[in-house]
Amino acid sequence: MKKEKRQSLNFDSRAVYCPPDEATKSISPPIIMSSSFQYDAEIFQRIIDGERKSVNIYGRCGNPSEYQFEEQMMMIEGADACLATASGMAAISVTLFGLLKSGDHIVCDWTTYSSTHEMLDHRLTDYNIETTFVDTANPDAVRAAIRDNTKIIYFETIANPSMKVAAIPPLVEMAHERGIIVICDNTFASPYVMRPLEWGVDIVVESATKFIGGHSDVIGGAICMKSEILPKDFLEQIRWNTMVKLGAPIAPFNAWLLSRGIQTLSVRVERQCQSAAILAKHFENHPTVEKVWYPGLASHPQHDIAKAQMPKFGAMLTFDVGDGDRALKVLDNLDLSCFSASLGGVRTTTQIPALMAFLDIPKQERLEMGISDGMIRVSAGLEDVEDLMADFDAALALL
Ligand SMILES: Cc1ncc(COP(=O)(O)O)c(C=O)c1O
Protein backbone atom coordinates (compact mmCIF):
# COMPACT_ATOMS: atom_id res chain seq x y z
CA MET A 1 0.00 0.00 0.00
CA LYS A 2 1.26 3.48 -0.86
CA LYS A 3 2.23 5.63 2.14
CA GLU A 4 -0.28 8.37 1.19
CA LYS A 5 -3.10 5.82 1.14
CA ARG A 6 -2.08 4.44 4.52
CA GLN A 7 -2.00 7.98 5.92
CA SER A 8 -5.56 8.53 4.70
CA LEU A 9 -6.91 5.49 6.61
CA ASN A 10 -8.63 5.65 9.97
CA PHE A 11 -6.53 5.25 13.13
CA ASP A 12 -7.07 1.50 13.68
CA SER A 13 -6.14 0.62 10.11
CA ARG A 14 -3.05 2.85 10.21
CA ALA A 15 -1.97 1.13 13.43
CA VAL A 16 -2.51 -2.45 12.26
CA TYR A 17 -1.21 -2.27 8.70
CA CYS A 18 2.44 -3.11 8.27
CA PRO A 19 4.06 -3.43 4.82
CA PRO A 20 5.45 -6.95 4.17
CA ASP A 21 9.18 -7.39 4.45
CA GLU A 22 10.68 -6.87 0.99
CA ALA A 23 13.16 -9.76 1.13
CA THR A 24 10.98 -12.50 2.66
CA LYS A 25 7.40 -11.16 2.31
CA SER A 26 6.83 -12.02 5.97
CA ILE A 27 3.85 -10.05 7.28
CA SER A 28 5.48 -9.79 10.68
CA PRO A 29 8.59 -7.67 10.19
CA PRO A 30 11.94 -9.38 10.78
CA ILE A 31 14.10 -8.36 13.73
CA ILE A 32 17.50 -7.30 12.47
CA MET A 33 19.74 -7.92 15.45
CA SER A 34 23.00 -6.90 13.80
CA SER A 35 25.10 -4.18 15.42
CA SER A 36 27.17 -3.79 12.28
CA PHE A 37 26.58 -4.00 8.53
CA GLN A 38 28.81 -5.03 5.66
CA TYR A 39 29.85 -2.31 3.21
CA ASP A 40 30.90 -2.62 -0.41
CA ALA A 41 32.50 0.06 -2.55
CA GLU A 42 29.13 1.45 -3.68
CA ILE A 43 27.66 1.53 -0.17
CA PHE A 44 30.86 3.04 1.15
CA GLN A 45 30.68 5.80 -1.45
CA ARG A 46 27.06 6.53 -0.50
CA ILE A 47 28.08 6.91 3.14
CA ILE A 48 30.93 9.23 2.15
CA ASP A 49 28.47 11.23 0.05
CA GLY A 50 26.41 11.83 3.20
CA GLU A 51 23.57 9.37 2.53
CA ARG A 52 22.81 8.06 5.94
CA LYS A 53 19.42 6.65 6.84
CA SER A 54 19.03 4.57 3.67
CA VAL A 55 22.40 2.90 4.25
CA ASN A 56 22.94 0.78 7.33
CA ILE A 57 26.14 2.02 8.94
CA TYR A 58 26.31 0.92 12.58
CA GLY A 59 23.70 -0.08 15.18
CA ARG A 60 24.01 3.08 17.26
CA CYS A 61 23.25 5.20 14.19
CA GLY A 62 20.11 3.31 13.18
CA ASN A 63 18.74 -0.13 12.40
CA PRO A 64 16.01 -1.48 10.05
CA SER A 65 13.85 -2.67 12.99
CA GLU A 66 14.07 0.83 14.46
CA TYR A 67 13.04 2.41 11.14
CA GLN A 68 10.05 0.06 11.00
CA PHE A 69 8.92 1.24 14.45
CA GLU A 70 9.51 4.89 13.51
CA GLU A 71 7.34 4.46 10.41
CA GLN A 72 4.50 3.04 12.50
CA MET A 73 4.83 5.79 15.09
CA MET A 74 4.58 8.41 12.35
CA MET A 75 1.38 6.76 11.17
CA ILE A 76 -0.31 6.76 14.56
CA GLU A 77 0.86 10.20 15.73
CA GLY A 78 0.18 11.86 12.37
CA ALA A 79 3.84 12.90 12.26
CA ASP A 80 6.10 13.93 9.38
CA ALA A 81 9.13 12.44 11.11
CA CYS A 82 10.01 10.19 14.04
CA LEU A 83 13.15 9.26 15.91
CA ALA A 84 13.06 6.19 18.17
CA THR A 85 15.11 6.15 21.36
CA ALA A 86 16.18 3.74 24.10
CA SER A 87 13.54 5.00 26.57
CA GLY A 88 11.02 7.75 27.16
CA MET A 89 13.64 9.71 29.12
CA ALA A 90 16.06 9.28 26.20
CA ALA A 91 13.41 10.81 23.92
CA ILE A 92 13.05 13.77 26.29
CA SER A 93 16.82 14.23 26.82
CA VAL A 94 17.70 13.93 23.15
CA THR A 95 15.01 16.46 22.24
CA LEU A 96 16.09 18.96 24.89
CA PHE A 97 19.84 18.57 24.35
CA GLY A 98 19.27 18.70 20.59
CA LEU A 99 17.32 21.95 20.78
CA LEU A 100 18.77 23.97 23.63
CA LYS A 101 21.88 26.09 23.99
CA SER A 102 23.38 27.88 26.97
CA GLY A 103 21.27 30.96 27.77
CA ASP A 104 17.96 29.46 26.58
CA HIS A 105 14.84 29.44 28.73
CA ILE A 106 11.95 26.97 29.05
CA VAL A 107 8.42 27.43 30.35
CA CYS A 108 7.23 24.11 31.76
CA ASP A 109 4.21 22.87 33.63
CA TRP A 110 4.52 22.33 37.39
CA THR A 111 3.54 18.71 37.13
CA THR A 112 5.58 16.58 34.83
CA TYR A 113 7.16 13.17 35.27
CA SER A 114 9.67 13.48 38.14
CA SER A 115 12.79 12.74 36.06
CA THR A 116 11.70 15.37 33.53
CA HIS A 117 11.19 17.89 36.34
CA GLU A 118 14.59 17.09 37.82
CA MET A 119 16.29 17.29 34.44
CA LEU A 120 14.88 20.80 33.93
CA ASP A 121 15.25 21.96 37.52
CA HIS A 122 18.74 20.58 38.20
CA ARG A 123 20.63 19.09 35.24
CA LEU A 124 19.94 21.75 32.60
CA THR A 125 20.71 24.54 35.06
CA ASP A 126 24.33 23.26 35.04
CA TYR A 127 24.40 24.27 31.35
CA ASN A 128 22.95 27.75 32.00
CA ILE A 129 19.49 26.74 30.78
CA GLU A 130 16.75 27.98 33.05
CA THR A 131 13.16 26.78 33.45
CA THR A 132 10.17 28.64 34.84
CA PHE A 133 7.54 26.24 36.21
CA VAL A 134 3.95 27.37 35.84
CA ASP A 135 0.44 25.99 35.57
CA THR A 136 0.08 25.49 31.82
CA ALA A 137 -3.68 25.08 32.25
CA ASN A 138 -3.59 28.85 32.90
CA PRO A 139 -2.56 30.57 29.62
CA ASP A 140 -2.07 33.92 31.44
CA ALA A 141 0.52 32.32 33.72
CA VAL A 142 2.33 30.91 30.68
CA ARG A 143 2.24 34.30 28.90
CA ALA A 144 3.65 36.03 31.97
CA ALA A 145 6.50 33.51 32.20
CA ILE A 146 7.66 33.89 28.59
CA ARG A 147 10.92 35.81 28.15
CA ASP A 148 12.85 37.01 25.09
CA ASN A 149 15.07 33.92 25.36
CA THR A 150 12.23 31.39 25.81
CA LYS A 151 12.81 28.55 23.37
CA ILE A 152 10.34 25.89 24.52
CA ILE A 153 6.93 25.52 26.15
CA TYR A 154 6.70 22.02 27.64
CA PHE A 155 3.81 20.11 29.22
CA GLU A 156 2.20 16.66 29.41
CA THR A 157 -1.13 16.04 27.66
CA ILE A 158 -2.42 14.33 30.79
CA ALA A 159 -0.10 15.27 33.62
CA ASN A 160 1.37 12.77 36.02
CA PRO A 161 -0.22 12.20 38.56
CA SER A 162 -2.75 15.06 38.78
CA MET A 163 -4.36 14.15 35.43
CA LYS A 164 -4.31 17.85 34.56
CA VAL A 165 -5.19 18.63 30.95
CA ALA A 166 -3.87 21.87 29.44
CA ALA A 167 -5.82 23.62 26.68
CA ILE A 168 -3.47 23.23 23.73
CA PRO A 169 -4.70 25.86 21.19
CA PRO A 170 -3.93 28.99 23.30
CA LEU A 171 -0.49 27.62 24.18
CA VAL A 172 0.31 26.87 20.55
CA GLU A 173 -0.92 30.28 19.44
CA MET A 174 1.09 32.27 21.95
CA ALA A 175 4.18 30.11 21.32
CA HIS A 176 4.11 30.29 17.55
CA GLU A 177 3.53 34.06 17.51
CA ARG A 178 6.92 34.28 19.23
CA GLY A 179 8.73 31.45 17.38
CA ILE A 180 8.67 29.26 20.51
CA ILE A 181 8.61 25.47 20.07
CA VAL A 182 5.81 23.55 21.78
CA ILE A 183 6.75 20.11 23.11
CA CYS A 184 4.43 17.75 24.87
CA ASP A 185 4.81 14.40 26.53
CA ASN A 186 1.89 12.25 25.39
CA THR A 187 2.73 9.17 27.46
CA PHE A 188 -0.30 9.19 29.78
CA ALA A 189 -2.77 9.70 26.94
CA SER A 190 -1.17 7.56 24.19
CA PRO A 191 -1.75 8.39 20.51
CA TYR A 192 -5.07 6.51 20.66
CA VAL A 193 -6.52 9.02 23.12
CA MET A 194 -4.77 12.20 21.96
CA ARG A 195 -2.65 13.24 18.99
CA PRO A 196 -1.12 16.60 19.95
CA LEU A 197 0.53 17.17 16.53
CA GLU A 198 -3.00 17.48 15.10
CA TRP A 199 -3.47 20.39 17.54
CA GLY A 200 -0.38 22.28 16.37
CA VAL A 201 2.16 20.98 18.89
CA ASP A 202 5.61 20.84 17.21
CA ILE A 203 7.14 17.82 18.93
CA VAL A 204 5.59 14.94 20.83
CA VAL A 205 7.71 12.77 23.10
CA GLU A 206 6.40 9.40 24.26
CA SER A 207 7.54 6.79 26.69
CA ALA A 208 6.65 3.87 24.42
CA THR A 209 7.39 1.68 27.44
CA LYS A 210 3.83 2.37 28.56
CA PHE A 211 0.67 2.08 26.42
CA ILE A 212 2.47 1.66 23.10
CA GLY A 213 4.34 -1.46 24.23
CA GLY A 214 1.40 -2.32 26.46
CA HIS A 215 2.72 -5.50 28.09
CA SER A 216 5.27 -4.23 30.64
CA ASP A 217 8.06 -6.05 28.83
CA VAL A 218 10.00 -3.36 26.97
CA ILE A 219 11.59 0.06 27.47
CA GLY A 220 11.60 2.49 24.56
CA GLY A 221 10.75 5.99 23.46
CA ALA A 222 9.89 8.06 20.43
CA ILE A 223 10.14 11.66 19.30
CA CYS A 224 7.53 12.61 16.68
CA MET A 225 7.42 15.90 14.82
CA LYS A 226 5.19 17.95 12.57
CA SER A 227 6.21 21.56 12.68
CA GLU A 228 6.09 24.79 10.72
CA ILE A 229 8.84 26.24 12.90
CA LEU A 230 11.51 23.54 12.91
CA PRO A 231 13.48 22.48 9.84
CA LYS A 232 11.90 19.43 8.15
CA ASP A 233 15.08 17.39 8.78
CA PHE A 234 15.33 18.42 12.45
CA LEU A 235 14.96 14.87 13.78
CA GLU A 236 17.58 13.57 11.36
CA GLN A 237 19.87 16.38 12.56
CA ILE A 238 19.42 15.41 16.19
CA ARG A 239 19.78 11.72 15.33
CA TRP A 240 23.35 12.52 14.30
CA ASN A 241 24.35 15.44 16.50
CA THR A 242 22.67 14.28 19.71
CA MET A 243 21.15 10.78 19.78
CA VAL A 244 24.17 9.05 18.24
CA LYS A 245 26.54 11.10 20.41
CA LEU A 246 24.64 10.45 23.65
CA GLY A 247 24.38 6.80 22.66
CA ALA A 248 20.62 6.53 23.11
CA PRO A 249 19.32 4.34 20.26
CA ILE A 250 16.57 1.78 20.75
CA ALA A 251 17.57 -1.91 20.66
CA PRO A 252 16.22 -3.81 17.60
CA PHE A 253 14.21 -6.33 19.61
CA ASN A 254 12.63 -3.53 21.65
CA ALA A 255 11.70 -1.69 18.46
CA TRP A 256 10.08 -4.88 17.18
CA LEU A 257 8.09 -5.41 20.40
CA LEU A 258 6.88 -1.82 20.22
CA SER A 259 5.88 -2.17 16.55
CA ARG A 260 3.84 -5.19 17.58
CA GLY A 261 2.32 -3.28 20.50
CA ILE A 262 1.10 -0.53 18.16
CA GLN A 263 -1.03 -3.08 16.29
CA THR A 264 -3.20 -3.75 19.36
CA LEU A 265 -3.05 -0.25 20.88
CA SER A 266 -6.64 0.72 20.02
CA VAL A 267 -8.37 -2.34 21.38
CA ARG A 268 -6.33 -2.36 24.55
CA VAL A 269 -6.62 1.34 25.33
CA GLU A 270 -10.30 1.53 24.39
CA ARG A 271 -11.08 -1.12 26.99
CA GLN A 272 -8.63 0.36 29.51
CA CYS A 273 -10.32 3.78 29.17
CA GLN A 274 -13.73 2.18 29.80
CA SER A 275 -12.47 0.49 32.96
CA ALA A 276 -10.74 3.68 34.17
CA ALA A 277 -14.00 5.61 33.78
CA ILE A 278 -15.92 2.96 35.76
CA LEU A 279 -13.26 2.86 38.49
CA ALA A 280 -13.19 6.68 38.73
CA LYS A 281 -16.98 6.81 39.25
CA HIS A 282 -16.75 3.97 41.76
CA PHE A 283 -14.05 5.74 43.81
CA GLU A 284 -15.93 9.04 43.61
CA ASN A 285 -18.81 7.42 45.49
CA HIS A 286 -16.60 5.45 47.89
CA PRO A 287 -16.83 6.50 51.57
CA THR A 288 -13.10 5.93 52.22
CA VAL A 289 -11.87 7.90 49.21
CA GLU A 290 -11.34 11.64 49.75
CA LYS A 291 -10.82 12.80 46.18
CA VAL A 292 -10.56 11.41 42.65
CA TRP A 293 -8.73 12.90 39.67
CA TYR A 294 -9.91 11.65 36.27
CA PRO A 295 -10.47 13.95 33.25
CA GLY A 296 -13.76 12.17 32.47
CA LEU A 297 -15.38 13.19 35.77
CA ALA A 298 -17.46 16.38 35.75
CA SER A 299 -15.67 17.31 39.01
CA HIS A 300 -12.27 17.38 37.25
CA PRO A 301 -11.04 21.00 36.94
CA GLN A 302 -10.31 20.65 33.20
CA HIS A 303 -13.18 18.33 32.32
CA ASP A 304 -14.52 20.63 29.57
CA ILE A 305 -11.07 21.11 28.02
CA ALA A 306 -10.50 17.35 28.07
CA LYS A 307 -13.89 16.78 26.44
CA ALA A 308 -13.05 19.21 23.64
CA GLN A 309 -9.58 17.78 22.96
CA MET A 310 -9.91 14.03 23.51
CA PRO A 311 -12.43 11.50 22.26
CA LYS A 312 -11.58 9.39 25.35
CA PHE A 313 -10.37 10.44 28.80
CA GLY A 314 -7.50 8.01 29.16
CA ALA A 315 -6.79 4.96 31.27
CA MET A 316 -5.06 6.73 34.16
CA LEU A 317 -6.68 7.97 37.36
CA THR A 318 -5.61 9.03 40.83
CA PHE A 319 -7.45 8.95 44.13
CA ASP A 320 -6.59 10.09 47.64
CA VAL A 321 -7.05 8.08 50.82
CA GLY A 322 -5.69 10.68 53.26
CA ASP A 323 -2.05 9.88 53.98
CA GLY A 324 0.92 7.79 52.87
CA ASP A 325 0.46 5.02 55.46
CA ARG A 326 -3.14 4.48 54.42
CA ALA A 327 -2.18 4.52 50.74
CA LEU A 328 0.53 1.93 51.38
CA LYS A 329 -1.91 -0.26 53.32
CA VAL A 330 -4.34 -0.26 50.41
CA LEU A 331 -1.72 -1.13 47.80
CA ASP A 332 -0.11 -3.78 49.97
CA ASN A 333 -3.47 -5.54 50.24
CA LEU A 334 -4.38 -5.65 46.56
CA ASP A 335 -4.39 -9.13 45.08
CA LEU A 336 -5.40 -8.64 41.47
CA SER A 337 -3.95 -5.19 40.77
CA CYS A 338 -0.21 -4.95 40.89
CA PHE A 339 1.65 -2.52 43.21
CA SER A 340 4.50 -1.48 40.92
CA ALA A 341 6.21 1.30 39.03
CA SER A 342 5.17 2.14 35.49
CA LEU A 343 1.82 2.09 33.71
CA GLY A 344 0.06 1.35 30.46
CA GLY A 345 0.35 -2.44 30.57
CA VAL A 346 -2.33 -5.10 30.28
CA ARG A 347 -2.28 -5.55 34.06
CA THR A 348 -3.70 -2.89 36.33
CA THR A 349 -0.81 -1.24 38.13
CA THR A 350 -0.89 1.09 41.12
CA GLN A 351 1.62 3.32 42.82
CA ILE A 352 1.97 6.05 45.43
CA PRO A 353 3.44 9.03 43.58
CA ALA A 354 4.71 10.79 46.74
CA LEU A 355 6.67 7.71 47.86
CA MET A 356 7.76 6.46 44.44
CA ALA A 357 8.21 8.59 41.30
CA PHE A 358 8.32 11.88 43.26
CA LEU A 359 10.29 10.65 46.30
CA ASP A 360 13.36 12.75 45.41
CA ILE A 361 11.36 15.98 45.07
CA PRO A 362 11.29 18.05 48.32
CA LYS A 363 7.91 17.75 50.09
CA GLN A 364 6.97 21.45 49.81
CA GLU A 365 7.78 21.46 46.09
CA ARG A 366 5.81 18.24 45.64
CA LEU A 367 2.77 19.65 47.43
CA GLU A 368 2.96 22.78 45.23
CA MET A 369 2.90 20.40 42.25
CA GLY A 370 -0.42 19.12 43.64
CA ILE A 371 0.93 15.74 44.73
CA SER A 372 -0.44 14.89 48.16
CA ASP A 373 0.85 12.13 50.47
CA GLY A 374 -2.25 9.94 50.21
CA MET A 375 -2.53 9.83 46.41
CA ILE A 376 -2.79 6.43 44.73
CA ARG A 377 -2.26 6.35 40.98
CA VAL A 378 -3.98 3.65 38.97
CA SER A 379 -3.27 2.51 35.43
CA ALA A 380 -6.34 0.52 34.43
CA GLY A 381 -5.54 -2.79 32.74
CA LEU A 382 -7.54 -5.42 30.92
CA GLU A 383 -8.87 -7.40 33.88
CA ASP A 384 -12.63 -7.67 34.37
CA VAL A 385 -13.64 -4.35 35.91
CA GLU A 386 -16.00 -5.96 38.46
CA ASP A 387 -13.06 -8.01 39.74
CA LEU A 388 -10.93 -4.87 39.92
CA MET A 389 -13.55 -2.99 41.93
CA ALA A 390 -13.89 -5.94 44.32
CA ASP A 391 -10.08 -6.03 44.72
CA PHE A 392 -9.90 -2.31 45.58
CA ASP A 393 -12.97 -2.49 47.84
CA ALA A 394 -11.46 -5.34 49.86
CA ALA A 395 -8.23 -3.37 50.37
CA LEU A 396 -10.04 -0.09 51.15
CA ALA A 397 -12.22 -1.89 53.73
CA LEU A 398 -9.07 -2.48 55.84
CA LEU A 399 -8.63 1.28 56.48
C1 LIG B 1 4.86 10.83 31.66
C2 LIG B 1 6.15 10.09 31.55
N3 LIG B 1 7.07 10.52 30.67
C4 LIG B 1 8.24 9.87 30.53
C5 LIG B 1 8.57 8.78 31.29
C6 LIG B 1 9.89 8.10 31.12
O7 LIG B 1 9.74 6.94 30.38
P8 LIG B 1 10.80 5.74 30.37
O9 LIG B 1 10.67 5.05 31.68
O10 LIG B 1 10.42 4.92 29.19
O11 LIG B 1 12.15 6.37 30.23
C12 LIG B 1 7.63 8.29 32.21
C13 LIG B 1 7.94 7.10 33.03
O14 LIG B 1 7.19 6.69 33.88
C15 LIG B 1 6.38 8.97 32.35
O16 LIG B 1 5.46 8.56 33.24
Could you give the domains of the chain?
3-263 (3.40.640.10), 267-396 (3.90.1150.10)
Query: Which residue's CA lies nearest to atom 10 of ligand 1?
Result: 88
Measure 88 CA to ligand 1 centroid, in angstroms: 5
Question: What spacing in Å lies between the alpha carbon of 380 and ligand 1's midpoint?
Answer: 17
* pLDDT score recorded for residue 104: 98
Instruction: Using alpha carbons only, give the angle 300, 303, 304 rounded to the nearest 5 degrees.
Output: 150
Alpha carbons 192 and 311: distance in angstroms, whole number:
9
Taking Cα atoms as reference points, which of 26, 5, 155, 158 lies closest to residue 75? 5
Residue 373 identity (one-letter amino acid): D
> Which helix H or strand E contains 174, and what residues bound it?
helix 168-177
Q: Tell which atom from ligand 1 comes closest to the C-alpha of 89.
A: 11
Q: Ligand 1 pocket check: which of 89, 163, 246 to mutate, most ligand atoms within 8 Å of Cβ?
A: 89
Q: To test the ligand 1 pocket, which listed residue (110, 164, 209) has its Cβ within 8 A of the most ligand atoms?
A: 209
Alpha-carbon span 338 to 349, nearest angstrom: 5
Say how far residue 200 (Cα) sits from the centre of its chain. 17
Query: Separation of 168 CA from ligand 1 center, angstroms?
Result: 21
**What's the whole-number average pLDDT of the chain?**
95
Give, for ligand 1, the residue of 116, 117, 207, 217 to mutate: max count of ligand atoms closer than 8 Å to Cβ: 207
pLDDT of residue 254: 98
Whose Cα sits closest to atom 9 in ligand 1? 88
pLDDT value of position 54: 75
pLDDT tens, 36-58? 999 999 988 988 888 877 788 89
- 260 phi and psi, to 5 degrees? -65, -40
| Ligand 1 within 6 A of CB of 344 | no
Ligand 1 centroid–CA 4 distance in Å is: 31
Residue 47 has what pLDDT?
86
Distances (CA, A) of 203 to 47, 73, 79, 358, 390: 28, 13, 9, 25, 41
The reply to whether ligand 1 has any atom less than 6 angstroms from the CB of 373 is no
CA–centroid distance, 51 to ligand 1, in Å, is: 33
Q: Ligand 1: which of 115, 190, 206 to mutate, most ligand atoms within 8 Å of CB?
A: 115
Question: Helix, strand, coil shares of the chain as percentages rounded to 5?
Answer: 40, 15, 45
Q: Split the chain (399 residues) into runs of 10 and give each run's mean pLDDT.
A: 92 94 92 94 88 84 95 97 98 98 97 92 96 95 98 96 94 98 98 97 98 98 97 96 96 98 98 98 97 97 95 96 97 96 96 89 87 96 98 98
- pLDDT for the residue 251: 97
Separation CA 30–CA 23 (nearest Å) = 10
The sign one gets for the Cα dihedral 340, 307, 311, 283 is: positive
Please identify, by atom number, the ligand 1 atom nearest to the C-alpha of residue 92.
Answer: 4
The helix/strand/coil state of 36 is strand
Residue 206 in contact with ligand 1 by CB distance below 6 A:
no
For residues 224-255, one letter each, b for 16 or more C-beta atoms within 10 angstroms of the residue's C-beta and e for the rest, the string is bbbbeebeeebbeebbeebbbebebbbbbebb
Point out the ligand 1 atom lying closest to the alpha carbon of residue 208.
10
Please identify, by atom number, the ligand 1 atom nearest to the C-alpha of residue 219: 10
Would the CB of 212 count as within 6 Å of ligand 1? no
Q: What pLDDT is recorded for position 369? A: 81
Give residue 187's pLDDT.
Answer: 97
Q: Cα of 187 to ligand 1 centre, how many Å?
A: 7
- pLDDT at residue 361, as a whole number: 83
| Closest atom, ligand 1, to C-alpha of 209 | 10
